[in-house]
Chains A and B, each alone.
Chain A
């Protein structure tokens, strides 16, 4: 059963469509992230769920009850704000107890629940301090406790971790996961930081330009990105420009950087027609690099479900356990490859290979289909 159900959610600010016909669900106990670049409308979605913005159109149901139109203070939802919005004139304990006080919880119970929350976020004994006396990470914990103490059906996060340094952020991520499991609360987390989103979420909603690009688990988004945007946004990707030269039952012929290649039909995520401009995408970690003496790229075809080409290493950088190589290939332009081996040097000649099954082809952003076969629907 879905706890939060969003259908056809649209928000217009004047002529600007900030959120465009968005549908998604959040199941009870799930950790869902809305991931998108700044200006993608993700915060607006969150603010509509919280009740700070009224949708232009669409439905938001919490526990099967429509909540559009009800004010924020009547929604069983609490938010952790981007700048945390801790009350500077109240102590830590008063901040955490604020929501309980509003709902008329007696002082004794309030104190007890606040204490328990302070324990949960590992801030025992901090109750009498003021927020300004705490470090950034401690303030995050207070903000989290202030939302959780009310035992809301859903906790919303508006990129609260973005102000922390990397190490603290990673620590807070695992803390978030621990607390989510312990409290059995449902989290809806908004961020532009794919690292955070991939690390913490059960499922992701990828938003761009107000529209949903894809909804799925981390693995689904990474391995089967539904659009070039998702491929680019979740992890790194090599994108080679090409043009469709032929489409038949099993394969698509492509003109890539001057060379002709053919790829399996199911590599194309969308329907393609001859003359469509496309991006051929392959993840750097799926590219294999081997030493070679071969001088030309005659073997640049699809052999046994695998592409291979030759090229010259142009750059390399060590990234801990992996090395990243920039390789100028003979047929596929410049590719980046992430491999275990640190054996190659700049100017080495290498063979580059990858499985055809790992290739994804997308029509180029902003370009219309070559014919209007989609016009009918």
Chain B
């Protein structure tokens, strides 16, 4: 017994001294006198931090907040500053970027269009996703497998999946040839709004299914039975029990779909063609082609504000507490 700690000390030579000194001071370390060097060091650290609660909180919460500050808050602040500068970074201070954007009928039309598409996408995804989540929860035994299948597309790159849809939807693509074989007319869906809706629905479906699923699994099946027992048919039961009881999950899903759709530029550019512009594409354009970063930044700020307002409204509506990030893709 007496020999083993000594041999430990010899092994962890440089820091060993300090550790043993600390160890003799503290009860924890004397209790665990037979602990190995690493364990001893960990318990010393725990004791050290236990006595300094503020330092402990900082060491745990610090890194994530640091990352958020550095990669999110500071860039956002930089964007805000730049959006008040004329033509280029470091240009004269001006409000022109905002006034120009907010008075341009063309841009506002694009924003309105983006809003409409986002609403449609969200509605479709919410409907399909809720049905899917509901069937997984209530009618299926292979829940894990089905959930895995739902998130499986995430294992492939977003861009690759979009190109796959181009392949399917283009004239003479997979869809049209299949219709052809069945003797039906071709649809040539690529570069239409329908194609954009299909692409978005496909991409965001898992994002909505997961929160829907989570809230539906927590729903007590007895409540459904109680409702039916009290004379409510399936539709009334859904509207007065199932939906209200899962509303937080529904709103989370809706927010998770609506926000990235509003800022999206890849899907509409690849599937929607030139006539189906969304606001995300305009912003991208200002940064990458027009090189008017301040103007792009201003649009970005406006859109962020719009999205935050919508998010707050949605949260109010559900009366729920959840923290969904207002990130755009």
Contact status A87-B226, CB under 8 Å: yes
A102 within 8 Å of B (CB atoms): yes
Contact status B229-A102, CB under 8 Å: no
B31 within 8 Å of A (CB atoms): no
Known contacts A73-B232, A81-B222, A83-B220, A98 near B227 by CB under 8 Å: yes
Contact status A85-B236, CB under 8 Å: no
A79 within 8 Å of B (CB atoms): yes
Q: Which one, B230, B233, B244, contacts A99 given CB within 8 A?
A: B230
Looking at the assembled complex, report how far the CB atom of B226 sits from the nearest CB atom of chain A, in whole angstroms.
4
Q: Which of B181-210 contact A (CB under 8 A)?
A: none
Known contacts A89-B244, A102-B236, A150 near B230 by CB under 8 Å: yes
Q: Which one, A52, A71, A82, A102, contacts B230 given CB within 8 A?
A: A102
Q: Which of B230-249 contact A (CB under 8 A)?
A: 230-233, 236, 240-241, 244-245
Contact status A85-B233, CB under 8 Å: no
Contact status A85-B228, CB under 8 Å: no
Contact status B231-A85, CB under 8 Å: no
A144 within 8 Å of B (CB atoms): no
A78 within 8 Å of B (CB atoms): yes
Contact status B223-A150, CB under 8 Å: no
Q: Which one, B220, B225, B240, contacts A72 given CB within 8 A?
A: B225
**What residue of chain A has the Cβ atom nearest to residue B221's Cβ?**
A85
A281 within 8 Å of B (CB atoms): no
Contact status A98-B220, CB under 8 Å: no
Contact status B225-A85, CB under 8 Å: yes
A377 within 8 Å of B (CB atoms): no
The contact string, 1 if C-beta is below 8 Å from chain B, for chain A 48-75, is 0011100000000000000000011100
C-alpha gap A306/B241 in the complex (Å): 64
A349 within 8 Å of B (CB atoms): no
15 sample A-B contacts, Cβ–Cβ < 8 Å, listed by A number: A51-B228, A73-B229, A73-B230, A73-B231, A78-B229, A81-B225, A82-B222, A83-B220, A85-B226, A98-B232, A98-B240, A99-B230, A99-B231, A102-B231, A103-B231
Report the 8 A-B pairs with minimum CB-CB distance, sorted nearest first. Answer: A99-B230, A102-B231, A85-B222, A85-B226, A72-B228, A102-B232, A73-B228, A73-B231
Known: A85-B222, A102-B231. 19 other contacts (CB 8 A): A50-B225, A51-B229, A52-B228, A52-B229, A72-B225, A72-B228, A72-B229, A73-B228, A73-B232, A82-B222, A85-B223, A87-B223, A87-B227, A89-B244, A98-B230, A98-B240, A99-B230, A103-B231, A150-B230
